[in-house]
Amino acid sequence: MMDNIRLVEVGPRDGLQNEARPLSVEDRILMIEGLVAAGLRSIEAGSFVSPKWVPQMAGSAEVLAALPKRDGLDFPVLVPNMKGFEAAHAAGAGEIAIFASASESFSQKNINCSIAESFERFEPVMDAARQAGIRVRGYVSCVLGCPYEGEVAVSAVVKVAERLHRMGCYEISLGDTIGVGTPKAAAAMARAVAGEVPMDRLALHEHNTYGQALANIYACLEAGVRVFDASVGGLGGCPYAKGATGNVATEELVYMLEGMGVATGVDLPALCRVALDTCARLGREPISPITRIIAAKG
Ligand code: HMG
Ligand code: MG
């Protein structure tokens, strides 16, 4: 029943975009190569956003260009507008992700425009991606709460998700940007979106700020979601969502899934070693206590 689960590793993007100490292009390539060796197959590799806004993601073109090109390996990158698309295309991106928000205030703070304006920016990106044969993933932020507005109506989430799907995104990642969701709310939100977008097109993107990420994932798994974003070492956060911490740690998610009999294809000790190496370069500890325990065993 649960053998069709897909993991999307967002560590090299979400994990690094908010760190005080930026990682060099070389270190980001090493990190991604380590993740590939550990068995991850879909790894968000960077962002083509303004380096004035997110300096940590500068050099994403060099990162992308250095990565292995093999069937079955995807390295999506974030693209907010045509300028970002052109740079990502020139760097050889095979997959991009556009990112919208269910909350007006977060849209303004994060990408400096309204939700409606963001869709005006996405239209030409979708057209150009279609012509170039580039797959597009779509994010919806603030699906379970907004750092500026608090509660976000499920109807607003459904509307944005449906629009991204209708304009051609192959998958919609539902972002609990500040990790405020709890399991029943998360599952209800996913089911509501699945009323408009097929369940097998949905992904859940959990931040773990309030320690609810795995519980929310489990609830959404039971509701039928099969794709989950996670970040090695539990790194992550958004510079425009103050106080939000990292994504669910990939190693904790893999541990849970494997324990439930779901084969993830991930070598857990190898993944934990990538987490420790990356955290050492960042000068911080991995979020989860299991990272060191598993790495020591492996
Ligand atoms: P803006 O200032 O409104 O844009 O920013 P602009 O078109 O007026 O351009 C201003 C300057 O930026 C110009 O440069 C442009 O050339 C440049 P200047 O003339 O001042 O030297 N510029 C760019 N440079 C490089 N790449 C580009 C680009 N576009 C314009 N693509 C913009 C609008 C979207 C660019 C800006 O707001 C931005 O970069 N925001 C960054 C947002 C971001 O990366 N946030 C974090 C990722 S989203 C997230 O974490 C949530 C997620 O994880 C899901 C979840 O958890 O919910 C995905
Ligand atoms: Mg995020």
**According to the model, what pLDDT value does residue 55 have?**
97
Beta bridge partners of 207: 247
- Of 228, 277, 278, the closest CA to residue 254 belongs to 228
Q: pLDDT per residue over 203-228, tens digit each?
A: 999 999 999 999 999 999 999 999 99
Tell whether 116 is covered by a domain. yes
Contact call for residues 154 and 196 (beta carbons, < 8 A): no
Q: pLDDT per residue over 174-196, tens digit each?
A: 999 999 999 999 999 999 999 99
Contact call for residues 165 and 201 (beta carbons, < 8 A): yes
**According to the model, what pLDDT value does residue 16 have?**
97
**According to the model, what pLDDT value does residue 238 have?**
83
| φ/ψ of residue 255, rounded to 5 | -60, -45
Q: Looking at the annotation, which residues are catalytic?
A: 238
Q: Indicate if the pLDDT at residue 105 is higher than 80.
A: yes
CA-nearest residue, atom 14 of ligand 1: 50
Residue range 251-267: average pLDDT? 97
CA-nearest residue, atom 23 of ligand 1: 50
Structure tokens at 222: 């039971």
Domain count, the chain: 1
pTM over 0.95: yes
Instruction: State which ligand 1 atom lies nearest to the alpha carbon of 173.
Output: 54
pLDDT band with cut points at 50, 70 and 90 for residue 237: confident
Q: pLDDT per residue over 115-157, tens digit each?
A: 999 999 999 999 999 999 999 999 999 999 999 999 999 999 9
Mutation choice for ligand 1 from 10, 13, 49, 77, CB with most ligand atoms inside 8 A: 49
Please calculate the CA angle 110-112-114 and round it to the nearest 5 degrees.
Answer: 100
Question: Is the Cβ atom of 179 under 6 angstroms away from ligand 1?
Answer: no
Tell whether 89 is covered by a domain. yes
Between the CA of 21 and the centroid of ligand 1 the distance, in Å, is 20
Looking up residue 105, the CATH number of its domain turns out to be: 3.20.20.70
Q: pLDDT per residue over 268-297, tens digit each?
A: 999 999 999 999 999 998 889 999 999 998
CA-nearest residue, atom 31 of ligand 1: 84
- Which residues have CB atoms below 5 A from the ion given as ligand 2? 14
Tell whether 144 is covered by a domain. yes
State the Cα–Cα distance between residues 237 and 97, nearest whole angstrom: 17
Instruction: Tell me the ligand closest to 99's alpha carbon.
Output: 1
Tell whether 1 is covered by a domain. no
State the Cα–Cα distance between residues 227 and 8, nearest whole angstrom: 7
Tell whether 148 is covered by a domain. yes
pLDDT band with cut points at 50, 70 and 90 for residue 1: low
Mutation choice for ligand 1 from 50, 139, 189, CB with most ligand atoms inside 8 A: 50
What residues make up the domain containing 270?
Answer: 6-297
Tell whether 190 is covered by a domain. yes
Residue range 27-51: average pLDDT? 98
